[in-house]
Structures are given as C-alpha cells and as structure tokens.
Amino acid sequence: MKLWQKDKASLKEVETFTVGKDREMDMYLAAFDVLGSLAHTTMLERVGLLSKDDLSVLKTELKSIYQQIQSGDFSLQDNVEDIHSQVELLLTEKLGDIGKKIHSARSRNDQVLVDVKLFLRNEIEELVNAIQPFFQLLQQQSETFRNHLLPGYTHLQIAMPSSFGLWFGAYAESLVDDAITLQAAYQVVNKNPLGSAAGYGSSFPINRTLTTQLLGFAELNYNVVYAQMGRGKAERITAQALANVADTLARLSMDMTLYLNQNFDFVSFPTELTTGSSIMPHKKNPDVFELIRSHCNRIKALPNEITMMTTNLPSGYHRDLQLLKEHLFPAFQTLKDCIGMASLMLSNISIKENIVVDEKYKYIFSVEEVNKLVLQGIPFRDAYKQVGLAIEANQFTYSTEVNHTHEGSIGKLCTAEITGMMDKVVKGFEFEKVHMAIGSLLV
C-alpha cells in the first residue's frame, strides 16, 4: 500500500517505470528525511496538533532511525515506495497510530523539497571542506616552486615567461571564485520550503518560522508556490557551482597531461602514480588526470542537463523533477574523489629545473627585451619593431632573467592575499550555525 493509494493499485509496469531509481536516490536523503520529521513533529506539538506524549515517543523513535542510518544499518523494504514511506512505516510498526500522525500538515512534495535542500546544504559543506586542503596544497606548492620558470602559452604557442609558482597559484585563486559560487548556491539552498505542502500551503495553523529555526535554515522560502517552483532551480544553481569547481580541475588536469608529455617534459610523477601499456614498455600514462578531466567534463554538463529537464515546466509539482537526483546526487562524491586524486598527484610531483634555458624557448623573452629598451627611453612601438627585426634576422639576443615585481606576477605571487580571500569566503558560509541547530534537534 502506497501513501497515496486508495482502493486500486497501479499497473506493475507503471509502478516500475515511475519509481525508476528513486528508491536508490532516496538513500542519499534518508538522514535528512528524519531530520525534517523531527523538526516537523516538534512544530506540530507546539501548535497543538500533537500531544507532548506523542511527540516524546515520536522523537525517540526518529532519533533511533537516524542512528540506524548513520551506522549504515538501514534500507528501504522491497514493498516500500520511498524514504518518506519507510520512515512512516517504521514509526507505525513501533508506535501504531501515533506513527501516522507525522504526515499532518505536509505533503510528500514539501518533504522531498526539504530533504533535497538539507542534502544539498550538507554536500556543499563537505565539498568546501574538501576544497580547503587542496587549496592549501596549491598555495604551498606555489611557494615551493616560485622560482621554477616555464614557458607561458597563448594559442598553444610559446608566449612569455611563466613559473610553476604562478601555475599553482592560478588554480588556487580559481578555487576562491569557485567557492564564491558555492556560497551563492548555499544561500539559495539554505532556505526552508517545509510547510508549503503540495505547493499551496495548509489550512492547519503551522509555524514555518519555527521549523526554519529548528533545521538551521537561514531563511524561509516564504511563498508556498515559489517553494515548489524552486525545485529544479536550486539543483541547477548548485550544479553550476559544481561545474565551476569541475572546470578548474579539468583544466588543471589538461595542463598536467601536456606537461608530462615528452615533448614538453616539464614534470614527472612516481611510477606507481602512473599506468603502463600492455605493449609499449616505456609508457607512463597520466590516466589519473585523464579520468579527472573526463569526470569533471561530465559534471560540467549537469547544469545544461537540469536546464533541459525543467524547460517549459509550468508552476506546481511535476514528476519530471524526480529525475534531477540521478546524476546530481552522485556528482558530489565524484567531485570529491577527483579533488582527492588531484591532491595525491600534486603532492608527489617532480618539476624539472632550468626548463627555459633550452634555446627553443628563447622567444618567450622577446617581450622582456622590448621592455628593457622601453626602460631606456625608447618608445614601445619602436622597441617592438627593433626586437622584431632582430628576430627576423636571426640576431635576437636575450637573458633568461626576469624581473616581474607587480602584484600577482612571477616575483610577487600574493599568496597571503589569495589565502585571505579564501578564508573570507569560507567564513561567510557560517556552517557552525547549522551544526548548532541540528545538534539541538538531535539531543
């Protein structure tokens, strides 16, 4: 029997098709469904829809279910449609009719909405926590290799001097902006939809402000119609934030596959971090970076996928939204795994010294020579022409010494300033407020 079932069951084929992978996806939401029910039942008692005794036994059993989920000793029974049904079934089996009271003043629509928002909020926090040590590693390596020059490229043609200090630092600062977009997604997610019911509110005298406080949300989704319309939007915004992190990792990985290539020969890794060939005994393939690149490129497609799945949907709930979970939910772990593997690789990188001494890179110093002439008082366009003519006549002379002193250059990486920006972004999440609220709810 389903929560919504009356006297006739759906055709088995219809049930199988409509449920799809939802039971599997609901396991991601299990703990958060219980948290939502703890807040909801507490509110029901406050407004007189539950007795104190009923609330006491419900909270005890809900906390017991929560512990089962946390310990991995929880699953959905074969005849149960979703996580909401499973929790209510367990309560009813243990408490009888009292267990049926938890559904008062809410719908499965706002149950799944609050579950998804709690899940996304938690996953964004975990992702930020995974990004921080990776960011610190990049900053550390930036300082360690600040004097290791390498050619900079535009259009994949040698351009100007760069350094591994700049290279590592560039990806560190990229993560700062990625964290800013995660914070924006967090602000959208950290709003309470509970109480919107099926999308049109309830005639019960519920207190939505109370459940907002109990669940540690920063704010309400006030308009009950928008609370339902926000489904799909919150996922899309979150997916875009994930895609930004993924883009940083994918580009970094592409650089590494190039720099490990023998024609570049800028870096190397221990043999155990690369893979070989079944036929070519000399191969040391950058499979880790290639897979990071591919995983992350797939994550970069998520915002468009969600956009297309929600295109032309009118207001109100639609079953299309169920499918948003299938690629988005696992993407968080994939991205965290990619960060972990990138950290492993870059912690063990070896960087070749004196790369730019090779004569094939001599023209990366052409701008340096132009600038030297300008400093002597020659107009830039004349200096540019003079060096250009020398190159064409094969008479170009240069020095491999560089003297870049402005902020963010080879000689002034501004590592502390970049770290300060990241610290400011992370503090802006105010995760501790959520921890305190959830901790109180579980006491």
What pLDDT score does 346 carry? Answer: 98
Looking at the structure, tell me whether residues 122 and 269 fall in a common domain: yes
Looking at the structure, tell me whether residues 24 and 73 fall in a common domain: yes
Phi, psi at 134, each rounded to 5°: -65, -45
pLDDT band for position 131 (50/70/90)? very high
Q: How many independent structural domains does the chain possess?
A: 3
* Mean pLDDT, all residues of the chain: 94
Is 39 part of any domain?
yes
- H-run or E-run covering 211: helix 208-214
How does pLDDT run across 305-364, given as a tens digit for each residue? 999 999 999 998 888 888 899 999 999 999 999 999 999 999 999 999 999 999 999 999
Is 311 part of any domain?
yes
C-alpha–C-alpha distance, residues 250 and 295, integer Å: 8
Is 362 part of any domain?
yes
CATH code of residue 40 = 1.10.275.10
Looking at the structure, tell me whether residues 299 and 376 fall in a common domain: no
Looking at the structure, tell me whether residues 38 and 183 fall in a common domain: no
CATH code of residue 194 = 1.20.200.10
Looking at the structure, tell me whether residues 366 and 344 fall in a common domain: no
Looking at the structure, tell me whether residues 400 and 347 fall in a common domain: no
Looking at the structure, tell me whether residues 61 and 182 fall in a common domain: no
Looking at the structure, tell me whether residues 344 and 377 fall in a common domain: no
pLDDT band for position 21 (50/70/90)? confident
Is 54 part of any domain?
yes
Half-sphere exposure of residue 260, counting CA atoms within 13 Å on the CB side? 25
Say if residues 256 and 286 touch (Cβ distance below 8 Å): yes
Residue where one domain finishes, among candidates 355, 371, 386: 355
C-alpha–C-alpha distance, residues 370 and 378, integer Å: 9
Say if residues 245 and 131 touch (Cβ distance below 8 Å): yes
Token pair of 51, please?
């007795």
Exposed (0-12), middle (13-18) or buried (19+): which is 153, by Cβ within 10 Å?
Answer: middle
Is 28 part of any domain?
yes
How does pLDDT run across 36-51, given as a tens digit for each residue? 999 999 999 999 999 9
* pTM score: 0.93
Q: Average the pLDDT over 264-287 and give the result.
A: 85
Is 273 part of any domain?
yes
Q: What is the DSSP string of 46-68?
A: HTTSS-HHHHHHHHHHHHHHHHH
Structural domain including 411 reads 358-420
C-alpha–C-alpha distance, residues 85 and 122, integer Å: 23
Is 5 part of any domain?
no
Is 426 part of any domain?
no
C-alpha–C-alpha distance, residues 115 and 193, integer Å: 10
Looking at the structure, tell me whether residues 114 and 263 fall in a common domain: yes
How does pLDDT run across 56-89, given as a tens digit for each residue? 999 999 999 999 999 999 999 988 888 999 999 9
